Amino acid sequence: MASEYLGYIRTEKYDKEPSRRKELIVNCEKPFNAETRPDLLPRSFYVPNDLFFVRNHAPVPLLKSEEEFRLRVEGIVAYPLLLSLEDLKTKFRKHTVAAVLQCAGNRRTEMSRIKPVDGVPWLHGTAGNAIWSGVLLRDVLIAAGVYTNKALHVEFEGADLPPEEENRRGYLASIPLNKALDRDEEVILAYEMNGEKLPRDHGYPLRVVVPGYVGARSVKWLTRIICKMESSDGYFMTKDYKYLPSNMDFNNVDWSSTPPIMNLSVQCAICDPLPDTKLSPGPYKIRGYALTGKGEHIVRVEVSINNSKDWQLATLIKGEKVANKEIPKRVTSGMKDWSWVLWELVVYMKPPTVLTARAIDSACNTQPEQPLWNLRGVMNNSWHKICVYPLNSAL
Ligand SMILES: Nc1nc2c(c(=O)[nH]1)N[C@H]1C(S)=C(S)[C@@H](COP(=O)(O)O)O[C@H]1N2
Ligand SMILES: [Mo]
């Protein structure tokens, strides 16, 4: 059944999905969940839009027409707003930020080797760096006259209706008002991704991008912003995207025991070669990405080619040149960094062997050697280990 909602057509039948590249690794068709082939990630500092991972929880809502789009800003504000796309583009200053998005479930498959976990079996391809342009959420909240003495959270509502939300309005998430109002946090309402209109899979025509937070808070197909006293009670804030204690499974799960995941932690992945690749002995360039949260930046990536015995420093590629060319003058202090880094290291490899990579950020945050198992398999940021085998091996 299809229904209309705030200028969108919602269908339960997945008959209005956008076209997609065959190169994506599809983990689920309905809803569409696909990751970038990890070896494609380090090929460019910004992931091309049509290769960027897609994490949907429902059919992609179809906007009837750009003219009919309205964003509502309400709740504990003096002047509730109803904004068209034109309003957003002409009445507010355009802001651009380079930021990485990562699903909290990135690298879940590795965690399930310890004990089965519940969730989409992602490899390490649900992270991507992009240039996002739109307006600062801060500017919109100020225009709405948010009561900073009363409101503490900003809730976002998407036009899609995941079955988990039952009879609620749409996909819901919230962030603290402080994060939203701090210009250095650069939370934006984005209408462009890498200089193009947002693709439908990534939230056309408008999405939130919350730099430094897990992807689940960057709500797509944004229809409503609500300033509130409490954080959102949406499903993906209260019953998912939580790092549960390792003794909890479905028999004794207590969702209220654990806060919703917000900040990203240090992450690092080997993208090229892919796990279990067969190689002849010789010189190879190992490549990958590393990222972190809180606006810190990656200062070091260490790589081992002999099963974590000896470590070498990889070369970091920060992509600043590209960014400077495309990103207009900053309106922030520029002290924080929301992009990933790419890294590479040339080594002489003699398979079979185990390659390991780990990163350290500017606040000296590191990664654990082993994943800490949790029921939903989220926030796996353990040292990334992959095996490579000789060309003639039977595997
Ligand atoms: N409206 C809406 N927003 C959403 C989601 C969703 O299903 N619906 N998924 C979230 C999750 S879990 C992630 S990881 C990111 C993924 O963004 P992408 O599909 O553009 O890569 O979107 C977030 N925003
Ligand atoms: Mo996610």
Domain containing residue 359: CATH number: 2.60.40.650
55 lines ligand 1 (CB under 6 A): yes
Q: What is the pLDDT of residue 394?
A: 73
251 and 131 together in one domain: yes
Q: Which ligand 1 atom is nearest residue 214's CA?
A: 14
CB 237 within 8 A of CB 371: no
204 lines ligand 1 (CB under 6 A): no
Where is the domain boundary, 237, 257, 277? 257
Tell the residue nearest (CA) to atom 15 of ligand 1.
215
CB 220 within 8 A of CB 158: yes
- Tell me the residue range of the domain where 340 lies: 267-390
101 lines ligand 1 (CB under 6 A): yes
Q: What is the pLDDT of residue 327?
A: 53
Mutate to test the pocket of ligand 1, among 17, 52, 56 (most ligand atoms within 8 A of CB): 56
What CATH number should be reported for the domain holding residue 81?
3.90.420.10
The token duo for 355 is 């390659």
Taking residues 50-62, report their average pLDDT: 98
Distance between CA 51 and CA 386 in Å, rounded?
A: 23
Distance between CA 241 and CA 244 in Å, rounded?
A: 9
The predicted-structure confidence for 237-268, as pLDDT tens digits, reads as follows 999 999 999 999 999 999 999 999 999 999 99
338 lines ligand 1 (CB under 6 A): no
pLDDT at 321 over 70: no
Look up the pTM and report it: 0.96
Q: What is the pLDDT of residue 6?
A: 86
Query: Domain for residue 395, yes or no?
Result: no
239 and 282 together in one domain: no
Mutate to test the pocket of ligand 1, among 36, 220, 232, 237 (most ligand atoms within 8 A of CB): 220
Query: Domain for residue 375, yes or no?
Result: yes
214 and 292 together in one domain: no
Q: What is the pLDDT of residue 328?
A: 53
Query: Domain for residue 13, yes or no?
Result: yes
Q: What is the pLDDT of residue 333?
A: 78
Count other Cβ atoms within 10 Å, centred on residue 395.
Answer: 8
Q: Which ligand 1 atom is nearest residue 52's CA?
A: 21
Q: What is the pLDDT of residue 2?
A: 82
Domain count, the chain: 2
pLDDT at 110 over 90: yes
90 and 231 together in one domain: yes
Distance between CA 108 and CA 269 in Å, rounded?
A: 13
Grouping H, G, I as helix, E, B as strand and the rest as coil, residue 38 is helix
276 and 243 together in one domain: no
Q: Counting ligands in written order, which one lies closest to the CA of residue 194?
A: 1
118 and 194 together in one domain: yes
Query: Domain for residue 210, yes or no?
Result: yes
Q: What is the pLDDT of residue 166?
A: 82
152 and 292 together in one domain: no
pLDDT band of residue 187 (cuts 50, 70, 90) is: very high
CB 145 within 8 A of CB 61: no
The predicted-structure confidence for 75-87, as pLDDT tens digits, reads as follows 999 999 999 999 9
Q: Which residue has the tokens 């693709």?
A: 199
Mutate to test the pocket of ligand 1, among 55, 71, 197 (most ligand atoms within 8 A of CB): 55
237 and 291 together in one domain: no
206 lines ligand 1 (CB under 6 A): no
Distance between CA 309 and CA 303 in Å, rounded?
A: 10
